[in-house]
Structure 1
Amino acid sequence: SSSDKLYTVQLLHSLSLTPSFHKLILHFASPTTNDSPLTMTFFNVYSQETRDAHHGATISAGSPEIDNLVNEIYSAAAGFGTDENRLTQALGNRTTRERYLISARYPELHKKSLLDEIKGETSGDYGKALELLAQPLEDAEASIVRDATKGSGTNEDLLYPIFGGRSNDELAILKKAFFQKYQEDLVVVIADDIGGDLKKVYLAALNSFAQAYDPSIHPRHKAEEVAEAIYKAGEGKWGTDESAFVNALYSVPSEFLPAVDAAYKAKHNHGLIVAIEKEFTGDAERALKFHVQIQLNAVETVANHIESTLKGIGTDEYGLTAAIVRYASILPQVAQAYKAKHGKDLRERIHGETSGDFGKVLLVVYDRALRH
């Protein structure tokens, strides 16, 4: 209806989206499509092969192209000494899909997993980057979570970007990958290693509280109801009911969250981010804000996240690597948002903060992403 179209336009103007994404969403909002007006497919970081395999499909990894890439990697790693330049190009200059197929095909041709091959031939930050590139992305994320939780203490800088703003489907894939890789339940690991409000945040994500988006059960008045439930658990209550706040927030599907944020803003003069800042602190606040921000404006959120790994004294090499590998599919848009927000060229920033083979492999991944 015309009123719904006006509501959509008003909602768009309440969000921090670039003009190109306004056009994209308005296209989806047209009556000729059944897609949600707020669907942004770049929330999905896994390859189609990963999704198909998760739902029971048999994936054939072999093809002349993939076999050639597998043999190129084997040749670069075999014998006395590793050819880092060839290895960097062979793994870094690939799509998420290609890396999935390469990792599946490698043991079929060479009787050894690609990850084991890389671990035996490389080390340091460069080796860690290649390890992430040598696995399907869901396995790479499982590795990141394991690294963030093993030993004494946890590395929240690695965890909250993994769990924030993810679909139920992707979280199910991640949990399955983690179990297959480490024979441990990811939910149990997080419950044992994390405490306080942050534990409530992560468990709400991993327990997949979000409903599937359905326009018939997520109309405008539903957004107002959910916004009010969040308000009553937080700002509208003497003493925050953290569990109720978190669970209400995580029950909202990504496609519907902008509407809830707009409804909250319309009634309380500020959105969900300010509500979180008023009611939470520390790592729980960071995780909740990232969860909301990456669904409202993924591109700018990723740009800011990458900057957080680069700024200050000392670069967070692992965090930077994880971000570049995980968000490669939207790096062209991220680079534009980064320049607009931070006034710097992202490639030059990465080049200035990294060095050696490690810097080279990140730039190969970056350059490949911007060419496509």
Structure 2
Amino acid sequence: MSYPGYPPTGYPPFPGYPPAGQESSFPPPGQYPYSSGFPPVGGGAYPPAPSGGYPGSGGYPAPGGYPAPGGYPGAPQPGGAPSYPAVPPGQGFGAPPGGAGFSGYPQPSSQSYGGGPAQVPLPGGFPGGQIPSQYPGGQAPYASQAAAMTQGSQGTIRPAANFDAMRDAEILRKAMKGFGTDEQAIVDIVANRSNDQRQKIKAAFKTMYGKDLIKDLKSELSGNMEELILALFMPATYYDAWSLRNAMKGAGTQERVLIEILCTRTNQEIREIVRCYQSEFGRDIEKDIRSDTSGHFERLLVSMCQGNRDENQNVNHQLAQEDAQRLYQAGEGRLGTDESCFNMILATRSFPQLKATMEAYSRMANRDLLSSVGREFSGNVESGLKTILQCALNRPAFFAERLYYSMKGAGTDDSTLVRIVVTRSEIDLVQIKQIFSQMYQKTLGTMIASDTSGDYRRLLLAIVGQ
């Protein structure tokens, strides 16, 4: 069984799935990926799908952005299997379990979600001319960020063995001394050290030479290579706070940056970002959000800033059913939309709970929740709500998609490319690479190599692990 327009153009079907002649009965009930009998055939007692067919049109993606509504990998599909397997409850965020679709596919950590820096060039360094040599107060990155990057991660970058910060600082000093720059030496160091180790190299450099490593690197590099190097040397929490500040300062607002960071972080990460934003830039992030956004989008971001999402990993299936009914009655089941109901549920429920709610919604409404959000909302609030749902379904696929569209077509969105490669390099870039190949029938490294050049390409490929 198939639906017009699904999967959307750009998502090649997974070879051999479903098997020819078995479309209406695949997967077998109770095996993969949902519970027996989901979704029901015929719709019986469920609310009929609105006229106009499936999936619904509207809003998302934003210009230059994402695939068509309802087409996100892992979205529950009425009467058929999703184009990419979603994870059954209790088996992590997003990656298929071993043996269910893709043998041996690595599991992401339960802490492995995050966003990245703004899609803007580095304006002469950091906001207000600040260049933190060892943020903050000479300390290493915040504990939760460091833990998220090293414990149970599936990153392409891991802490180097036999690490010697003073030796690395000396190598970098020699690479920048005299005429010309030994970019390869710089690449070899930064692409093979964890973020925490890079902070130690910065401290050792200042101790040994009385100079700021970041200022020296800026004087030797330019363009995309400079942006990538500076991103690698920013501590993770500062990187997010800096990105949010840049997204809101000056004329205009980079709404997609606000969405990507605030709609994907853990409670502790958000609280640390809020604290860092205040201490480094002397500003209240909630006030800045209120002055730069409005309406239901403003309320969603303010909700995200509280860092109060339920993080209990256990799923309450009765609550999922009730929430699905509430969401239907707030949207498809009425004239107009009760936006506050969507905000409340999507801002407070855990990601595993939201995934269960999406499955219950598809069973009840014979339409996936992403499609319904596309029909009921538009603009930035739609993108924000969909980002939350997409990460609940399949986080590595979300970032793989963003990487693909940063390089697809004419030109390259280098800020997005840098942001995702750097921020996911110690978290789940291994999974992102694998799912990228499955979704687009080409490797991430191949696409990067064809869209970039020079030392910038060399460093990106070194981080990706090509």
Q: What TM-score bracket applies, with the shorter chain setting the length?
A: 0.7 to 0.9
Partner of 2:325: 228
In 1: Cα distance, 2:307 partner to 2:323 partner: 17
Aligned AA for 2:307? Answer: S
Maintained 8 Å contact 1:100/1:137: no
Is there any run of 5+ residues in structure 1 with no aligned partner, and where? Answer: 1-5, 27-36, 56-62
Maintained 8 Å contact 2:406/2:414: yes
Partner of 2:34: 10
Partner of 1:30: none
Maintained 8 Å contact 1:165/1:292: no
Aligned AA for 2:412? Answer: T
In 1: Cα distance, 2:428 partner to 2:279 partner: 28
Alpha carbons of 1:112 and 1:267: their partners in 2 closer, same or farther (altered >3 Å)? farther
Other structure's SS at 1:43 match:
coil
Maintained 8 Å contact 1:209/1:247: no
- For these two proteins, the number of residue pairs brought into alignment is 342
Instruction: Say what the alpha-carbon RMSD is for the aligned residues.
Output: 3.3
Maintained 8 Å contact 1:229/1:248: no
Alignment of 1:13-92 (within 5 A): 16-17=84-85, 21-23=95-97, 40-43=110-113, 50-52=141-143, 65-92=164-191
Using the TM superposition, name which of 337-346 and 75-84 deviates more.
75-84
In 2: Cα distance, 1:109 partner to 1:51 partner: 25
- Greater relative contact order, per chain length (Cα 8 Å cut-off, separation 6+): 2
Alpha carbons of 1:363 and 1:9: their partners in 2 closer, same or farther (altered >3 Å)? closer
Instruction: Give the TM-score taking structure 2 as reference length.
Output: 0.65
Alpha carbons of 1:363 and 1:214: their partners in 2 closer, same or farther (altered >3 Å)? closer
Partner of 2:415: 318
Partner of 2:250: 151
In 2: Cα distance, 1:292 partner to 1:54 partner: 23
Alignment of 1:1-372 (within 5 A): 10=34, 16-17=84-85, 21-23=95-97, 40-43=110-113, 50-52=141-143, 65-103=164-202, 105-213=204-312, 215=314, 218-328=315-425, 329-367=427-465
Aligned AA for 1:337? Answer: I
In 1: Cα distance, 2:368 partner to 2:259 partner: 21
In 2: Cα distance, 1:307 partner to 1:318 partner: 13
Instruction: Give the TM-score taking structure 1 as reference length.
Output: 0.80
Alpha carbons of 1:209 and 1:239: their partners in 2 closer, same or farther (altered >3 Å)? farther
Alpha carbons of 1:84 and 1:303: their partners in 2 closer, same or farther (altered >3 Å)? same
Alpha carbons of 1:97 and 1:333: their partners in 2 closer, same or farther (altered >3 Å)? same
Alpha carbons of 1:274 and 1:38: their partners in 2 closer, same or farther (altered >3 Å)? farther
CA deviation after TM superposition for structure 1 residue 366, in Å: 1.1
Higher Cα Rg, which structure: 2
Maintained 8 Å contact 1:168/1:208: yes
Give the number of the structure whose residues are more often helix, by fraction: 1
- Offset from partner CA, 1:9-56 (integer Å, 9 cap, x none): 635995743789443699xxxxxxxxxx9973422689xx7452789x
CA deviation after TM superposition for structure 1 residue 7, in Å: 11
Maintained 8 Å contact 1:25/1:38: no
Alpha carbons of 1:72 and 1:186: their partners in 2 closer, same or farther (altered >3 Å)? farther
CA deviation after TM superposition for structure 1 residue 346, in Å: 1.3
Partner of 2:57: none
Aligned AA for 2:34? Answer: Q
Maintained 8 Å contact 1:115/1:135: no
CA deviation after TM superposition for structure 1 residue 134, in Å: 0.9
Aligned AA for 2:375? Answer: K
CA deviation after TM superposition for structure 1 residue 138, in Å: 1.6
Alpha carbons of 1:278 and 1:363: their partners in 2 closer, same or farther (altered >3 Å)? same
Aligned AA for 1:268? Answer: A
Using the TM superposition, name which of 206-215 and 274-283 deviates more.
206-215
Alpha carbons of 1:237 and 1:207: their partners in 2 closer, same or farther (altered >3 Å)? farther
In 1: Cα distance, 2:267 partner to 2:211 partner: 32
Percentage of identical aligned residues: 25
Alpha carbons of 1:106 and 1:162: their partners in 2 closer, same or farther (altered >3 Å)? farther
CA deviation after TM superposition for structure 1 residue 84, in Å: 2.3
- Offset from partner CA, 1:267-321 (integer Å, 9 cap, x none): 1122321121111112322222122112210121111011121123321111110
